Amino acid sequence: MTTSNEKLQRQLDGLNPVPLREVPVSAATIREQVTGAILAGGRSSRMGRNKALLDVAGLPLIERTYRTMAELFAEVIVVTNTPRDYVFLPCPLVGDVYPNVGSIAGVHSALQHSTNETIFVVPCDMPFLEPRLIRQLCAQNGDWDALVPVSARGVEPLHALYRRRCLPQLETRLLSGRKQLLGFLRSVEARYVDVDASLSASAEPLFCNLNTPQDYAAHVPAGLVMS
């Protein structure tokens, strides 16, 4: 039987993550040159209801996510196939070009609809977003197609940067039915950064997802999500 550590090691084989470098950050430049993309296309089957609308400190979870992203980026878009659920958000709501094939289609749609060459992608169910970490990721230079953090949980492709030049490879994989985002990342020039090495504490909690009622009960009432 494969252990979680063995699965993690297999996921990381050959990726060679480097420490996240602390570099000077121009918040204004990042704000204008990177688009924030929130993926809200999942079915929330394990939660049993739309997790994007879970109440967290008096707000729908996706609205908290939007507010964080709007502080960082002038352009924020939500990728969803149920736009009627999110009409209260003051930003563009765009659908998948290839619906019902998972998060890889959300990244594809976000790149197609962004007015910037670079997007920063997050899911709708990640309540612990840390603006400082996001800015540091956005400030990394280099000739990469995607810049992806690695934490104690493994590769974090849904808290990552993607450039528009990824679109041909995304299109090819979607047309051939290959839906795995990690597989796609191995087909492009992806740079992996070890965020645990750059922070004073483990970055793992920052990447927590609320996928199940147990996740919601464990994190929200415990006061881990603050208003």
pLDDT in tens, 79-117: 999 999 999 999 999 999 998 899 999 999 999 999 999
Q: Kindly report the backbone phi and psi dihedral angles of residue 37, in degrees, each rounded to the nearest multiple of 5, phi listed first.
A: -125, 125
- Check residue 225 and give its pLDDT: 46
Expressed as residue numbers, the domain containing 83 is 23-219
pLDDT, one tens digit per residue, over 31-87 is 999 999 999 976 666 666 788 998 888 889 999 999 999 999 999 999 999 999 999
Residue 211 lies in a domain: yes
> Where does the pLDDT of residue 190 fall: very low under 50, low under 70, confident under 90, or very high at 90 and above?
very high
Residue 15 lies in a domain: no
Calpha distance 192→188 (Å, rounded): 12
What is the pTM for the complete model shown? 0.89
Residue 13 lies in a domain: no
Is there a contact between 81 and 99 (Cβ–Cβ < 8 Å)?
yes
Is there a contact between 108 and 167 (Cβ–Cβ < 8 Å)?
yes
Residue 152 lies in a domain: yes
Q: How many domains is the chain partitioned into structurally?
A: 1
Tokens of residue 128, six digits: 């612990």
- CATH number, position 48: 3.90.550.10
Tokens of residue 149, six digits: 């953090």
Angle between helices 61-72 and 131-138 in degrees, nearest 10:
50
Calpha distance 135→120 (Å, rounded): 10
Tokens of residue 133, six digits: 């970490």
Dihedral angle, C-alpha 214, 220, 223, 224, nearest 10 °: 80
